[in-house]
C-alpha cells in the first residue's frame, strides 16, 4: 500500500523544522577558531565531565530501570497505573522543578540531606549531584523503551522456559534479557543522550563549578553571555556527540 502524496508536504516541513536549526549552527560556527574554542581548558573539562557523569548516570538507569520496567510490564497490582505515572513524571516535569525536588531531598536541609551531613557527606553542589540530576531526568526514557519492548515480546518464550523447570531468575537472565536486548540498548542510549543534554536540574541542584559540576550544556550557557562564537562551537560539538551516540545505537540494534 502506497503512502498518500499529500503526507510528504507536512513530513518535509517537519524535517525542515528539525534540520534548519542544525544547519544554522553549522553556518554560524567560526571554523577559523573552531579548534581553539573547543580545546580551551574549560571546554575540555566540561566535555570530559559531561561524558563521565552521563556514562555513570546511564549505568544507574540500567541497574534501577531494568527491574522497574520488568515489574511494570510483567506484573499487575493495585495502584500500578499511578506508579507508572509517577515513574514517567520526569518526562513532562520541567527540569528546574526536578532540580528543586532533588535539592529538597538531598540538600543540607532536605529529607535525606541531614542524614548525609551526619555521615560527613555532601551531595548537593557536587559531581554526585550532577549524576543524580541526570539519572532523575533520564531514567524514564529507559523504562518506557524497555517496557514497550517487553510488552511487544510477549510471554510465550518465558512461559515455555518456566514449564521446563527454569527458575524465575534463570528465565529473566537467559530468556527475558536476550529477548529485549535491542530495546534495552535503545533505552540506554536515549538515557545517555538525555543525560548529556541535561541543564535545568543540574544547574539548580548541582550549580556551576568548573571541573566539578559545570557540564557542557552549562558551559555553553555561560559562554553565550561572554563569547557567542565559543557557545556556537561547543553547541556543534554537543550535536555531533549526540548524533554519533544515536548512530552507534542504531547499528548495535541492527546487529542484535
- Give me the tens of pLDDT residue by residue for the chain, a chain 256 residues long: 578 888 999 999 999 999 999 999 999 999 988 898 888 898 999 999 999 999 999 999 999 999 999 999 888 888 888 888 888 899 889 999 999 999 999 988 888 877 877 777 788 899 999 999 999 999 999 999 898 888 888 888 888 888 888 888 888 888 888 888 888 888 898 899 999 999 999 999 999 998 899 999 999 999 988 888 999 999 999 888 888 877 776 665 555 5
Taking the whole predicted model, whether its pTM rises above 0.85 is answered as: yes
Phi, psi of 210, deg, nearest 5 = -60, 130
| Domain contains 25 | no
Taking each helix axis from N to C terminus, what angle separates 8-28 and 228-255, rounded to the nearest 10 degrees? 130
Query: Is 14 inside a domain boundary?
Result: no
CATH number of the structural domain spanning residue 168: 1.10.3720.10
Could you give the CA distance from residue 114 to residue 112 in angstroms, rounded to a whole number?
6
Burial class from Cβ neighbours inside 10 Å (0-12, 13-18, 19+) for residue 4 reads: exposed
Give the number of domains in the chain: 1
Residue 78, domain member (yes or no): yes
Parent domain of 217: 32-254
166 belongs to a structural domain: yes
Nearest to 34 by CA among 240, 232, 244, 215: 232
Q: Say if 21 falls within a structural domain.
A: no
Q: Rounded to an integer, what distance in angstroms lies between the CA atom of residue 64 and that of residue 254?
A: 25
Amino acid at each position: 500500500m502506497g503512502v498518500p502524496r499529500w503526507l510528504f508536504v507536512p513530513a518535509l516541513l517537519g524535517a525542515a523544522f528539525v534540520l534548519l536549526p542544525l544547519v544554522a549552527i553549522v553556518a554560524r560556527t567560526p571554523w577559523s577558531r573552531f579548534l581553539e574554542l573547543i580545546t580551551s581548558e574549560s571546554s575540555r573539562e566540561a566535555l570530559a565531565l559531561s561524558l563521565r557523569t552521563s556514562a555513570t548516570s546511564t549505568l544507574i538507569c540500567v541497574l534501577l530501570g531494568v527491574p522497574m520496567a520488568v515489574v511494570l510490564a510483567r506484573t499487575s497490582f493495585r495502584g500500578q497505573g499511578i506508579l507508572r505515572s509517577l515513574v514517567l513524571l520526569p518526562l513532562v516535569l520541567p527540569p528546574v522543578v526536578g532540580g528543586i525536588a532533588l535539592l529538597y531531598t538531598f540538600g543540607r536541609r532536605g529529607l535525606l540531606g541531614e542524614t548525609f551531613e551526619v555521615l560527613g557527606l555532601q551531595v548537593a553542589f557536587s559531581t554526585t549531584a550532577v549524576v543524580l540530576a541526570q539519572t532523575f531526568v533520564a531514567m524514564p526514557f529507559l523504562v518506557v523503551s524497555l517496557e514497550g519492548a517487553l510488552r511487544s515480546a510477549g510471554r510465550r518464550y518465558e512461559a515455555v522456559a518456566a514449564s521446563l523447570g527454569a527458575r524465575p531468575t534463570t528465565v529473566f537472565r537467559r530468556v527475558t534479557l536476550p529477548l529485549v536486548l535491542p530495546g534495552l540498548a535503545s533505552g540506554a542510549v536515549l538515557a545517555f543522550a538525555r543525560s548529556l543534554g541535561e541543564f535545568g536540574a543540574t544547574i539548580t541542584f548541582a550549580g556551576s563549578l568548573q571541573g566539578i559540576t559545570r557540564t557542557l550544556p552549562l558551559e555553553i550557557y555561560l559562554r553565550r553571555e561572554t563569547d557567542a562564537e565559543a557557545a556556537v562551537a561547543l553547541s556543534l560539538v554537543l550535536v555531533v556527540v549526540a548524533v554519533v551516540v544515536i548512530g552507534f545505537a542504531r547499528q548495535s540494534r541492527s546487529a542484535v
